[in-house]
Amino acid sequence: MKFQKSLLYFFCAFVGFLLFAKGQYFPLAPQGDSLFKQKIVLNERSEKANIHFTHKNDFFLSERFIEASKKILPFYNSISASVSVVDINNDGWQDFFVPSPSPNSKSHLYINQKDGTFVEKAVEYGLAQLSSPVRAGFFDCDNDGTQEILLTSYKCPSLYQNRGGKYQRIFKFPEPCTFAMGFNILDYDKDGLLDIAIAPFSRTLPNSWHSASNGPGGLMLYKNMGHCKFEADTNHLREPAKHYTHAIGVADLRNLNRQDLWAATDFNRDRIFFQNEDGGYSQAQEVLKKPKAHNGMSVSAAYVTNQKYPSIYISQVYEPGYSIFGNQLWTFDGQQFVDSAKERKINNCGWSWGSKFSDINNDGLVDLVVANGFISTTTGINYWDKIGRFIFASKRYLNNPWNWMSFEGASWSGHQRDCIFMNQGADFVNIAEQIHFDEDLRDGRGLATIDTLNNGKVGFIVANQRQKLSYYQNETESGNNWIGLKLIGTTSNRDAIGASVEAELSNGERKKYSHYPFNGYSAQSDSRIHIGLGKNNLKSIRVKWPHGLNELYTHLKMNQYNTLIESKGKLIETLSY
């Protein structure tokens, strides 16, 4: 009797706590209008827009593999879907390119027809049949007004240039080089020529889930020597450690007018590189407060509120019972980076990949879209159940494919719905289910923003791994004001990458944006800056150009795109570098 009574007390106390914890930490999602007041409309319009692209990645075929690796082929073929938004023909309308790495597949280049539809023209541009392409970055490396392409593949990265209407390879990065999803374009030495930061991600297996030391290499800088010739620059950055890097983000982390780098690292802690006064980089140590999630996938940066420092969003793996910390939102507090993703309710989005901040409803608060899902199948077998059989072992055991469990058609965090986190000021609310976003639960990877109709309604393209591409047209009728900016550098790099913009609104509020379209995961977003103004009017725009000019632009037109040319504004000051 005493035992039963004790058991009852024990049980009641524990259940009581669980109920308390559920209310505190896992509030049930509110439904309907109480969730988010404004009606957000993001419709999947790929069929209507004439987009018919299915990503194919069977680069790693079973016959090429040793017996041991065959059983985990889905894992090897799991990360290569990317998308690049670019105005390739300089007509002022955004086009996009999606590579497909399978040997017999075709990459697609969609040209914007200015009516919400696209026409596929990869063959015409010489971009249909490339050698195992995984990610493309369009940028103007010689400041001539046309876009060159940095193309990474399962082999060495290459540079392509438009010659007579067709793209041709003009530069191949020297050996040793490897497959890379993570790169960013920046002008770190501020010489007016865009440089490249790149980090490899190999197909070897990690020797640890949290402190892997057998990755393919560290972060590297390639300096633009002019005429689109690049040379490895170990003077500015040298990282001998071997990591698995998924993405490289660029941001002025400490508000010092620098271009700091954040490497989203899988199987280890993220690495942060602060830019020094002389332009070189030093790895920052112990600046993250209690970083527990070690599966960094993408890096996005934004001023989430009117704060001094930008916040860095790192997508991670979230799986109850296994990996419980989820995505992170790091913000510098003057000494350390503090994660506030849980407080802002943006930490849980499954196995997250591409992420992008954008003001969906032009209310002046940047929202967040996250693509997710790793490997989806229909067998009902869950690879998380199998993983416990082999991850609890020594490092030597883990990086040998013989010791991994066979997939046998298993899903691994598959069939997950992408997230749309609407910014409410203090926190965010995920409305993806409410608006039927990502109904097919595809395995999203690269995620880019695109304003197809130049109407200030920013939509999204999600490159899904080995699945159909998702194209979301933003059809939200918010009635809010907005302004779009196309920046053209003259002494700075022509793409104005690295510029920062501050908009002053009629109510005195200031909104800050930085121009790094390659931030995120395996994607290049709309190269124009889009700023939601809410019901306010615009007073002025202040641009800090990468080369140091600080200019003020007034009399700009709201609710349309404005072209700002460096040195054509009212000069406020010239920042020394």
Sites of contact with other proteins (CB under 8 A): 3, 6-7, 9-10, 13-14, 17-18, 21, 24-26, 207-211, 268-269, 286, 290-292, 294, 320-325, 342, 385-386, 388-398, 402-403, 405-406, 408
Q: Which is nearer to other proteins, 15 or 119 (CB)?
A: 15
Q: Which is nearer to other proteins, 371 or 398 (CB)?
A: 398
CA distance 37 to 39: 7
Does residue 442 sit in helix, strand or coil?
coil
Which amino acid is present at 83?
A: V
- Partnered with residue 133 across adjacent β-strands are 153
φ, ψ (nearest 5 deg) of residue 283:
-75, 125
The minimum distance between CB 74 and other proteins, in angstroms, equals 15
The minimum distance between CB 405 and other proteins, in angstroms, equals 7
Q: Rg of the chain over CA atoms, in angstroms?
A: 23
CA distance 524 to 275: 23
Q: Which is nearer to other proteins, 241 or 572 (CB)?
A: 241
Q: Which is nearer to other proteins, 274 or 397 (CB)?
A: 397
Omega prior to 133 cis, within 30 of 0:
no
The minimum distance between CB 294 and other proteins, in angstroms, equals 7
Q: Which is nearer to other proteins, 211 or 537 (CB)?
A: 211
Q: Which is nearer to other proteins, 18 or 225 (CB)?
A: 18
The minimum distance between CB 18 and other proteins, in angstroms, equals 7
The minimum distance between CB 320 and other proteins, in angstroms, equals 4
Any alpha helices (H) in 64-182, and if so which ranges? 67-70, 73-76
The minimum distance between CB 129 and other proteins, in angstroms, equals 39
Are 498 and 186 spatial neighbours (Cβ–Cβ below 8 Å)? yes
- Residue 341 belongs to what H/E stretch? none
The minimum distance between CB 337 and other proteins, in angstroms, equals 14
Token code pair at residue 92: 């002022």
Contacts of 323 (CB under 8 A, 6+ apart): 293, 295, 316, 317
The minimum distance between CB 262 and other proteins, in angstroms, equals 16
Are 449 and 83 spatial neighbours (Cβ–Cβ below 8 Å)? no
Nearest-CA neighbor of 160 among 239, 97, 209?
A: 97
CA distance 550 to 572: 6
**Count of beta carbons in the 10 Å neighbourhood of residue 373:** 27
Q: Which is nearer to other proteins, 161 or 268 (CB)?
A: 268
The minimum distance between CB 151 and other proteins, in angstroms, equals 34
The minimum distance between CB 425 and other proteins, in angstroms, equals 23
The minimum distance between CB 326 and other proteins, in angstroms, equals 8
Q: Are strands 158-163 and 570-574 parallel, antiparallel or unpaired?
A: unpaired
Any alpha helices (H) in 235-344, and if so which ranges? none
Q: Which is nearer to other proteins, 205 or 531 (CB)?
A: 205
Q: Which is nearer to other proteins, 13 or 572 (CB)?
A: 13
Q: Which is nearer to other proteins, 402 or 577 (CB)?
A: 402
Q: How many CA atoms lie within 13 A of 517 on its CB side?
A: 24
Does residue 2 sit in helix, strand or coil?
helix
- In this structure, which long-range contacts are made by residues 385-394, counting pairs with CB atoms below 8 Å and at least 24 apart in sequence? 386/410, 387/322, 391/209
CA distance 28 to 282: 44
Residue 72 DSSP label: T
Q: Which is nearer to other proteins, 20 or 577 (CB)?
A: 20
